[in-house]
Amino acid sequence: MATTEYDFDPSYGYTLPQLLAVATPKEPKDFDAFWQRRYQNALTIKPNPQSKIISNNEQGWRVFEISYTSTDNVPIRGWLLLPSSGVIKRGFVIGHGYGGRDAPDFHLPFNDAALLFPCFRGLGLSAAPTISSDPHWHVLHDIHQTDRYILSGCVEDVWLGVSVLLQLFPKLAGHLGYLGISFSGGIGALALAWERRISRGHINIPTFGHHPLRLRLPTRGSTHSLQQFYCTHKKQTLNVLRYYDAALAAKRITMPLHCACALFDPFVAPPAQFAIYNALPAEKELFVLNAGHHSYPEQEQQTQQLIAELDAFFAPLSH
């Protein structure tokens, strides 16, 4: 994809076969122990969901504002969509990009599902006075502490979102899915590695894959902010980020996963995206996007094709 918009090549010279050959970096010996401890702790927390209806029928959905308690007593806010009619057969936790979100997605083809749209801590409706909502600063929040780095809390916000769906709809056990794009694609990979209550997942142009590689590739957005910090804090940054590598987490994902990865992306380097897909050991499907975080002529057509694939991929959750 030729463009003069960037002072670097957002394909980084990788062909599709080369992207499909990107491996995972070395992992910390206690990677599993670090995350299992966090997951088991998250399972002990009562999320106490509170909801308020704001629309009885918007594009076929009943719309609720919802809030729940995540780890460290952090309040998470978002939306819950329920079908205006019919039986609820499945549920989804649906993440957002680093810009947060200001509304739920009404276009998804899951009209027999409960859709939970949480805003992760510090972002969107879950903005907090102690956390910057600017992605350039949010991504650096507590990066000097492995146990406190902001991404760990965002992963826990996903796990507590699953707890919320199961508390509100206990019959949906075994019928839950996850969808995440960009920021929430990477967060999703980190969360799904340990989450056994989700049966199927989809991640789209996922970030946080293969940190040693992505820190070296010129990039825009929050990754550029990380790269600037890395220049002056190399050892400290890598020591923390190796616990937050979505490609390492992907090696542990056992559920079927559908991935959309881009050949060209100025904000999430494609080799870092494909490192996540390549690491998946179980049933997986790949949808190759011409570009991510960048408009292109076939974008609408590819979006419709992707939605059709997701409709088929998540159909088993209804049975």
Question: Residue 202 pairs with which residues in a beta bridge?
Answer: 179, 258
Statement: residue 124 has pLDDT above 90: yes
Side-chain-side CA neighbours of residue 17 (13 Å): 0
- What is the reported pLDDT for 2? 63
Side chain identity at residue 260, one-letter code: A
Q: What is the mean pLDDT of residues 51-74?
A: 97
Q: Single out the residue of 43, 66, 72 nearest to residue 162, CA to CA.
A: 43
Helix axes 31-43, 150-168, angle to 10 degrees: 40
189-218 as b/e: b if 16+ CB within 10 A: bbbbbbbebbbbbbbbbbbbbbbebbbebe
CA distances from 187 to 142, 159, 243 (A): 16, 11, 12
pLDDT 10s digits, 72-108:
999 999 999 999 999 999 999 999 999 999 999 999 9
CA distances from 299 to 288, 303, 304, 306 (A): 12, 6, 9, 10
pLDDT 10s digits, 176-205:
999 999 999 999 999 999 999 999 999 999
* Token digits of residue 34: 């670090």
- What is the reported pLDDT for 269? 98
* Dist CA 228 CA 102 (whole Å): 29
Q: What's phi and psi for 126, nearest 5 deg?
A: -95, 25
- What is the reported pLDDT for 4? 74
Question: Residue 83 pairs with which residues in a beta bridge?
Answer: 61
Q: Confirm if 249 and 280 have CB atoms less than 8 A apart.
A: no
Q: Single out the residue of 185, 221, 217, 176 nearest to residue 203, CA to CA.
A: 185
- What is the reported pLDDT for 229? 97
* Dist CA 285 CA 142 (whole Å): 35
Query: How do strand 176-181 and strand 113-118 relate by DSSP bridges?
Result: unpaired
Q: Confirm if 103 and 79 have CB atoms less than 8 A apart.
A: yes
| Beta strand ranges found along 6-155 (DSSP E) | 50-58, 61-69, 75-83, 90-94, 113-118
pLDDT 10s digits, 131-165:
999 999 999 999 999 999 999 999 999 999 999 99
pLDDT 10s digits, 252-294:
999 999 999 999 999 999 999 999 999 999 999 999 999 999 9
* Token digits of residue 309: 């694939």
* Dist CA 200 CA 192 (whole Å): 9
Q: Confirm if 141 and 150 have CB atoms less than 8 A apart.
A: yes
Side chain identity at residue 150, one-letter code: I
Average pLDDT across the chain, whole number: 97
Q: What is the mean pLDDT of residues 8-23?
A: 98
Statement: residue 1 has pLDDT above 80: no
* Dist CA 308 CA 220 (whole Å): 30
User: 16-318 falls under which CATH superfamily?
Assistant: Alpha/Beta hydrolase fold, catalytic domain (3.40.50.1820)
Q: What is the mean pLDDT of residues 8-19?
A: 98
Query: What's the DSSP call for residue 315?
Result: G
pLDDT 10s digits, 197-254:
999 999 999 999 999 999 999 999 999 999 999 999 999 999 999 999 999 999 999 9
| Beta strand ranges found along the chain (DSSP E) | 50-58, 61-69, 75-83, 90-94, 113-118, 176-181, 200-204, 257-262, 284-289
